[in-house]
């Protein structure tokens, strides 16, 4: 059942009182979702106890890390229990400073700041308020990906915290001619990873928003065509309050793929982000994103440059990134799911069904 049963309330008395939801969720639409109960565990033992009560009483739930997901039940349970990981932000560095054990409740900024006390950093994302758990499970683009690959490919996430230092060169020779161009302001930073995360941080809280994505082999012509598709499709939406579309094309360099021990050539991930104010515009914003995906995918296929893989952290609810992994990988994931979660708690029909889940 979706609601809170008397048995659930009784069982939770041993865990502690319900608390207010922690740091703000990014999407206003998700922020308006009201859970019946919020629990903030402080330890893995707390997590085990909370999950035990939830499963025993068949209550729907969601897990909130950074709150960066965009739909009801993703990180805030609609009428169920929200497990807010905000208190689990420990950082334990090994004596040789080669590895670190960190809490799953970190957002990337708090993780960077915790490690920087030891003059360390790690493979992590580029946006400060993204939750560590969702970032890793989704795959993980990082400033360091060309050197170390993508974060989900690493057997041990913490292995990337080994110390490295390069003496900053403020004006390297290859940029000599470029630096002759007059400018008034620069965002170039030779700084800590946490500061880079702040540069990439865009305050989305208070807006409704969505993501959608397509992947293709790099082509300057396709880049322009995909941008043109967006430009045409937004014409009827320009007057919507708070409307702000954004298209970012991110390269997947072969060096990063090699570092992650994968095969393949370069690819490009196009990320469409749309912000708007009013719930009344939800349907047409989602329709716009679907149309952009449909036409952009057709365009890349016509050019013979379509790449079927979808980056799950950028996919819309109308896309199925699991299908893009290939049938063999999909079946492997389902076998792992059955082995680790035989009750199907974390599935599309289970108690924790928000975001993308296997069937």
pLDDT for res 265? 59
Residue 221 lies in a domain: yes
Q: How, if at all, do strands 208-216 and 100-102 pair?
A: unpaired
pLDDT for res 36? 86
Task: Verify that 82 and 95 share a domain, yes or no.
Answer: no
Residue 151 lies in a domain: yes
Average pLDDT over residues 214-239: 94
The tokens describing 156, both together, are 């041990």
Task: Verify that 215 and 226 share a domain, yes or no.
Answer: yes
Task: Verify that 52 and 143 share a domain, yes or no.
Answer: no
CA distance 72 to 51: 20
Residue 357 lies in a domain: no
Number of domains in the chain: 3
Q: State how far the alpha carbon of 36 is from the alpha carbons of 6, 62, 128, 196, 241, in Å.
A: 12, 11, 29, 37, 31
- The yes-or-no verdict on residue 223 having pLDDT over 50 is yes
Instruction: For residue 159, give its domain range.
Output: 91-165+188-200
pLDDT for res 268? 87
What CATH number did the domain enclosing 20 receive? 3.30.43.10
pLDDT for res 31? 60
pLDDT digits (tens, 9 = 90+) for 64-110: 988 878 777 888 888 899 999 999 999 999 999 888 999 999 988 89
What CATH number did the domain enclosing 126 receive? 3.30.465.10
pLDDT for res 255? 58
pLDDT for res 316? 93
Between 61 and 191, residue with greater pLDDT: 61
**Rounded percentage of the chain residues whose pLDDT exceeds 90:** 45
Which of 146-155, 171-180, 258-267 is least confident? 146-155
Over the chain, what is the mean pLDDT? 79
pLDDT for res 285? 96
Please give the sequence-ordered ranges of beta strands (E in DSSP) within 40-167, or none if there are none. 61-64, 81-84, 91-93, 100-102
pLDDT for res 283? 95
- The yes-or-no verdict on residue 206 having pLDDT over 90 is no
- The yes-or-no verdict on residue 184 having pLDDT over 80 is no
pLDDT for res 144? 61
Task: Verify that 229 and 270 share a domain, yes or no.
Answer: yes
The sheet carrying 267-276 orders its strands as: 208-216, 267-276, 244-252
Between the ranges 29-38, 122-131, 291-300, where is the mean pLDDT highest?
291-300
Residue 335 lies in a domain: no
Residue/partner pairs of 287-290 with CB below 8 Å, 24 or more apart = 288/233, 288/234, 288/237, 289/210, 289/212, 289/316, 289/318, 290/212, 290/316, 290/318
pLDDT digits (tens, 9 = 90+) for 282-307: 999 999 999 999 999 999 999 999 99
Task: Verify that 148 and 238 share a domain, yes or no.
Answer: no
- The yes-or-no verdict on residue 229 having pLDDT over 70 is yes
Task: Verify that 59 and 96 share a domain, yes or no.
Answer: no
Task: Verify that 110 and 79 share a domain, yes or no.
Answer: no
pLDDT category of residue 154 using cuts at 50, 70 and 90 = very low
Between 274 and 150, residue with greater pLDDT: 274
Which of 210-224, 247-261, 302-316, 343-357 is least confident? 247-261
The tokens describing 90, both together, are 């420990």
pLDDT for res 263? 45
What global pTM score does this model have?
0.74
- The yes-or-no verdict on residue 262 having pLDDT over 70 is no
Q: Domain boundary residue among 55, 88, 121?
A: 88
What CATH number did the domain enclosing 280 receive? 3.30.300
Task: Verify that 237 and 294 share a domain, yes or no.
Answer: yes
CA distance 293 to 216: 12
pLDDT category of residue 188 using cuts at 50, 70 and 90 = low
Which of 34-38, 269-273, 311-315, 338-342 is least confident? 34-38
pLDDT for res 62? 93
pLDDT for res 152? 47
């Amino acid at each position: 059942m979706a609601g809170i049963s008397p048995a659930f309330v009784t069982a939770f008395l041993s865990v502690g009182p319900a608390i207010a939801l922690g740091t703000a969720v990014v999407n206003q639409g998700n922020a308006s979702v009201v859970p019946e109960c919020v629990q903030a565990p402080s330890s893995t033992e707390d997590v085990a106890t909370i999950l035990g009560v939830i499963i025993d009483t068949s209550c729907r739930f969601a897990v909130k890390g950074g709150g960066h997901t965009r739909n009801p039940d993703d990180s805030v349970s609609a009428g169920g229990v929200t497990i807010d990981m905000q208190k689990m932000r420990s950082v334990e560095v090994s004596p040789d400073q080669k590895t670190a054990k960190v809490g799953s409740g970190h957002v990337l900024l708090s993780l960077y700041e915790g490690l920087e006390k030891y003059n360390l950093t790690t493979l992590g994302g580029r946006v400060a308020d993204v939750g560590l758990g969702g970032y890793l499970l989704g795959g993980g683009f990082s400033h360091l990906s060309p050197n170390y690959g993508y974060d989900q490919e690493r057997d041990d996430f913490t292995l990337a915290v080994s110390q490295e230092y390069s003496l900053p060169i403020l004006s390297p020779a290859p940029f000599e001619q470029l630096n002759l161009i007059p400018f008034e302001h620069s965002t170039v930073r030779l700084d800590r990873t946490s500061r880079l995360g702040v540069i990439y941080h865009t305050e989305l809280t208070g807006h409704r928003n969505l993501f959608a994505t397509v992947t293709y082999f790099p082509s300057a012509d396709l880049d322009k065509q995909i941008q043109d598709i967006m430009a045409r499709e937004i014409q009827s939406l320009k007057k919507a309050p708070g409307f702000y579309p954004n298209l970012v094309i991110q390269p997947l360099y072969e060096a990063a793929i090699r570092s992650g021990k994968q095969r393949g050539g370069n690819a490009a991930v196009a990320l469409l982000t749309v912000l708007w104010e009013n719930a009344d515009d939800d349907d047409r914003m989602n329709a716009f994103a679907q149309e952009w995906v449909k036409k952009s995918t057709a365009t890349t296929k016509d050019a013979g440059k379509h790449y079927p893989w979808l980056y799950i952290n950028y996919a819309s609810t109308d896309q199925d990134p699991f299908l893009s992994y290939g049938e063999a990988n999909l079946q492997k994931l389902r076998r792992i799911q059955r082995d680790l979660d035989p009750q199907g708690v974390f599935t599309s029909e289970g108690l924790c069904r928000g975001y993308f889940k296997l069937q």
